[in-house]
């Protein structure tokens, strides 16, 4: 398809050294980008009039433990709402420094998606406004979707938390106590 | 000015709504900051139903993942089945026969009707219109009966296989559908009369939970929530898969992006889905529902029990799983709540290396704080209802 190859050519031409590789597989266009100045690369993909990939469909990651170097790959699915085209951007991330620039300033929806990737893979997103665990709980140790995390690993039960500012209706509690007391006295 | 001075100073109250709350049908927690009854800020906590879908899929064979996909959005499990099977078929590079594609379209649209009826019925009954809730559940039951006769199960159907569907339609399927659609149309007419000009319903829904078009795009929203803001993006039209390009249907759009528009979009999509099913049943071609490729299809039972080749063939597929060539792909279908995408990575073995679902309602929960900011606590109920968060899909 001549049209799709022009997209990849445009990206290669404009982003130059940041493009590691472009490839097509089963009709999908894939760009492998270096993680340096990632946000600027995405800003270009989003704003360039020839590309206009203005919709971020998904962010996820893959762990190629002992299979590929660098170990992780963060995968972005982009979409052009006007041109009706998809593009997949893969960003290799090494194990010793798992950080990527956050895309939250470009798409606010990246917030939840990046939190999930951090939660399950332990990849840090620089400049993310609120990088907390999202699917798992704060006390969880490790990142379960890494391939070196055992499937059957059990984690200890977390003690019940005393949450500050919890609203407790003292009147109903007193009433319950009184009722209990009265019952005890009757019997 | 005078009225302003008279107002009492209000203390900011923190309220935790959930995780088990009768109005949030799904396990989710809202940490609210309230000023009186006005919501100042809302922090959504999800993940209570997290059961490690991605990790489980990496342990199973490609076929064994299908029952897991049932448990994602359990209100439209057929769409999840179809989406996953199509993604795997794209990775392999095969296409199913025409009859199978039509059956998959019919199954997806029945599931979509089911999903929308659940969402709208629950949302209406939470606002006090309990009659509408019952009517829609009655309509839903007719679909449930068809799904039951088609697949043998009511909720976790596991109907679609890689390279086909479990079995063909029953001989009286078209008749059942005609009867069911008659009932649904009658019930929806009744619901329309009960709701469309109902002051209470409109007051609760209209101009509540509004989201602008730009914000909807920035927050990666899809499905009825995006379309209610007027953005014409439906995966079935934008990237036609199966035989959707041969069927005539419209994409209902809203204008304001509030709860009422979302409700109307969903109700109109039910009608469009019924149109699609009727056309697909009229055009349904004859033929096989399986691809003719022994690498992916189980042999007939007769061969398994009577010949050693058949038995070995069966054993290899069951124990090793089908072999998917190495590579990665992303395939999206239009789910009940939006773009349901599957990103698959294969290393060439019988088990997936990575299965990722793009969950539309997880992403929609990311915008909830924007939708509810400045509205009342009571507005959380319809706004949350119209997002149609399904715990199984949101938390995986």
Q: Which residue of B has its CA nearest to A63?
A: B354
Q: Considering CB atoms only, which of B47, B221, B233 is closest to A136? A: B47
The secondary structure element, H or E, covering residue A126 is: strand A124-126
Using pLDDT thresholds of 50, 70 and 90, give the confidence band for residue B74: confident
B81 has a pLDDT exceeding 80: yes
Q: Give contacts of A107 with chain B, Cβ < 8 Å.
A: 218-220
The pLDDT value recorded for residue A2 is 45
- The H-or-E segment that residue B16 falls in is strand B12-17
Calculate how close chain A gets to B88, using CA atoms only, in Å: 12
Tell whether B212 is within 8 A of chain A (Cβ): no
Question: Taking 80 as the threshold, does the pLDDT of residue B291 lie above it?
Answer: yes
Tell whether A109 is covered by a domain: yes
| A151 vs B contacts (CB less than 8 Å) | 55, 59
Q: Which residues of B touch A120 (CB under 8 A)?
A: 54
Choice between B182 and A174, residue whose per-residue pLDDT is larger:
B182
pLDDT in tens, B195-248: 888 888 888 888 888 888 888 888 988 889 999 998 888 888 888 888 888 888
Q: What is the pLDDT of residues B174-201, one digit of tens each?
A: 899 999 999 999 999 988 888 888 888 8
Q: For residue A71, tell me if it sits in a domain.
A: yes
Inside any domain, residue B310: no
Q: Looking at the domain assignment, is residue B353 inside a domain?
A: yes
B99: helix, strand or coil: helix
Q: Does residue B272 form part of some domain?
A: yes
* B58: in domain: yes
* Contact criterion met (CB below 8 Å) for B253 and B227: yes
d(CA B19, CA B21): 6
What is the distance in angstroms between the Cα of B223 and the nearest Cα belonging to chain A? 12
Task: Give the least confident one: A8-22, A28-42, A98-112.
Answer: A8-22
A142 within a domain of the structure (yes/no)? yes
Torsion angle of C-alpha atoms B282, B96, B109, B240, degrees rounded to 10: -100
The confidence band for B109, taking pLDDT boundaries of 50, 70 and 90, is very high
* CA–CA separation, A19 and A32 (whole Å): 6
Locate B384 and state its tokens: 């949350």
Enter the DSSP assignment of B21.
B
* Domain assignment of residue B17, yes or no: no
Establish if B185 belongs to a structural domain: yes
Beta bridge partners of B364: none
Give the residue numbers spanning the domain of A151: 2-160
A and B: number of Cβ contacts within 8 A: 99
Please give the pLDDT value at position B7. Answer: 63
What residues of B are in contact with residue A167 (Cβ under 8 Å)?
13-16
B263 touches chain A (CB under 8 A): no
Residue span of the structural domain in which B282 resides: 53-293+321-395
Check B90 against A26: CB less than 8 A apart. Answer: yes
Residue B57 CA to residue B68 CA, distance in Å, equals 8
Q: Which residue has the higher pLDDT, B32 or A169?
A: B32
Q: Is residue A116 part of a domain?
A: yes
Nearest residue of A to residue B395, measured between CA atoms: A135
Cross-sheet strand order for the sheet of B354-358: B327-334, B339-346, B354-358
pLDDT-derived band at B5, boundaries 50, 70, 90:
low
Number of compact structural domains in chain B? 1
B300 assigned to some structural domain: no
Q: Which residue out of A46, A112, A115 would a mutagenesis test of the B interface target, given it has the greatest number of B Cβ atoms within 10 Å?
A: A112
Give the CATH number for residue A110.
3.30.460.80
What's the total number of domains in chain A? 1
Radius of gyration of chain A (CA): 24
Does residue B344 form part of some domain? yes
Report d(CA B234, CA B257) in Å as an integer: 16
C-alpha distance from B215 to closest chain A C-alpha (Å): 8
Query: What residue in B sits closest to A163 (Cα-Cα)?
Result: B16
Residue of A nearest to B33 (CA): A165
User: For chain B, what percent of residues have pLDDT higher than 90?
Assistant: 18
Q: Which tokens is B13 given?
A: 């109250």
Averaged pLDDT, A8-15: 77
Mean pLDDT over B253-265 rounds to 88
B332 touches chain A (CB under 8 A): yes
Contact B54 A120 (CB under 8 A): yes
With respect to residue A166, please indicate whether it lies within any of the assigned structural domains. no
The domain that holds B286 is classified in CATH as: 1.10.645.10
Summarize pLDDT for B20-62 with one digit per residue, the tens: 887 777 788 888 888 888 888 888 888 888 888 888 888 888 8
Residue B6: pLDDT band with limits 50, 70, 90: low
Find chain B residues with C-beta within 8 A of A57's C-beta. Answer: 220, 332, 339, 341, 358
pLDDT at A1 over 50: no
Contacts of B94 (CB under 8 A, 6+ apart): B163, B291, B293, B296
Q: Is the pLDDT of residue B163 over 70?
A: yes
Count Cβ atoms below 10 Å from residue B259 Cβ, excluding itself. 28
> Which residue among A113, A137, A151 sits closest to B55, beta carbon to beta carbon?
A151
Report the b/e string of B59-80 with b at 16+ CB within 10 A. Answer: ebbbbbbbebbbbbbbbbbbbb
CA-to-CA separations, A103 to A46, A78, A92, B127, B324, in angstroms, rounded: 11, 12, 16, 38, 33
* ipTM field: 0.83
Q: Is there a contact between B322 and B296 (Cβ–Cβ < 8 Å)?
A: yes
Which residues 333-392 of B have a C-beta within 8 angstroms of A? 339, 341, 343, 345, 347, 353-354, 356, 358, 362-363, 365-367
Residue A146 counted as domain residue = yes
């Amino acid at each position: 398809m001549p049209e799709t190859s022009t997209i990849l050519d445009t990206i290669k031409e404009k982003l130059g050294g940041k493009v590691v590789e472009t490839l097509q597989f089963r009709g999908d266009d894939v760009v492998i980008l270096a993680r340096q100045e990632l946000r600027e690369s995405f800003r270009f993909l989003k704003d360039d009039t020839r590309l206009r990939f203005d919709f971020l469909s998904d962010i996820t990651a893959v762990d190629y433990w002992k299979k590929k170097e660098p170990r992780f790959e963060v995968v972005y699915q982009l979409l052009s709402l006007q041109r009706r085209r998809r593009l997949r951007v893969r960003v290799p991330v090494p194990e010793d420094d798992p950080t990527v620039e956050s895309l939250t300033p470009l798409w606010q929806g990246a917030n939840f998606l990046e939190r999930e990737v951090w939660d399950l893979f332990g990849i840090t997103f620089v400049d993310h406004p609120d990088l907390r665990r999202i699917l798992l709980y704060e006390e969880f140790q490790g990142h379960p979707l890494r391939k070196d995390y055992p499937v059957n690993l059990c984690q200890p039960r977390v003690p019940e938390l005393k949450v500050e500012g919890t609203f407790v209706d003292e009147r109903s509690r007193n009433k319950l106590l009184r009722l209990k007391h009265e019952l005890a006295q009757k019997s | 000015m005078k009225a302003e001075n008279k107002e009492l100073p209000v203390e900011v109250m923190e309220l935790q709504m959930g995780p088990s709350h009768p109005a949030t049908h799904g396990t989710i927690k809202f940490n609210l900051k309230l000023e009186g009854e006005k919501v100042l800020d809302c922090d959504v906590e999800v993940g209570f139903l997290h059961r490690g879908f991605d990790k489980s899929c990496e342990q199973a064979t490609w076929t064994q993942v299908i029952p897991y996909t049932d448990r994602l959005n359990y209100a439209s499990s057929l769409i999840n089945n179809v989406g996953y099977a199509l993604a795997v078929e794209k990775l392999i590079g095969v296409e199913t026969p025409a009859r199978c594609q039509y059956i998959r379209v019919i199954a997806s649209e029945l599931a979509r009707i089911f999903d929308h009826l659940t969402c709208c019925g629950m949302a209406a009954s939470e606002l006090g219109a309990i009659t509408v809730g019952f009517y829609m559940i009655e309509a839903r039951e007719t679909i449930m009966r068809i799904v039951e006769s088609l697949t043998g199960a009511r909720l976790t159907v596991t109907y679609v296989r890689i390279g086909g569907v479990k079995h063909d339609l029953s001989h009286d399927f078209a008749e059942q559908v005609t009867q069911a659609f008659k009932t649904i149309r009658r019930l929806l007419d009744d619901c329309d009369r009960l709701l469309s000009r109902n002051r209470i319903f409109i007051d609760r829904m209209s101009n509540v939970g509004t989201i602008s078009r730009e914000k909807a795009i920035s927050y990666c929203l899809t499905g009825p929530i995006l379309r209610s803001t007027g953005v014409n993006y439906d995966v079935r039209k934008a990237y036609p898969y199966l035989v959707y390009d041969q069927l005539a249907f419209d994409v209902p759009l809203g204008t304001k992006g509030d709860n009422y528009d979302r409700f109307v979009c969903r109700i109109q999509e039910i009608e469009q889905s019924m149109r699609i099913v009727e056309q697909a049943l009229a055009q349904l071609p004859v033929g096989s529902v399986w691809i003719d490729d022994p690498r992916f299809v189980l042999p007939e039972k007769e061969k398994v029990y009577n010949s050693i080749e058949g038995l070995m063939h069966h054993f290899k597929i069951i124990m090793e799983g089908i072999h998917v060539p190495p590579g990665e792909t992303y395939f999206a279908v239009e789910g009940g709540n939006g773009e349901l995408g599957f990103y698959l990575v294969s290393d060439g073995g019988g088990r997936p290396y990575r299965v990722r679902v793009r969950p539309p309602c997880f992403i929609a929960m990311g915008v909830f704080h924007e939708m509810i900011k400045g509205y009342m606590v009571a507005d959380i109920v319809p706004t949350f209802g119209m997002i149609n968060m399904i715990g199984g899909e949101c938390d995986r």
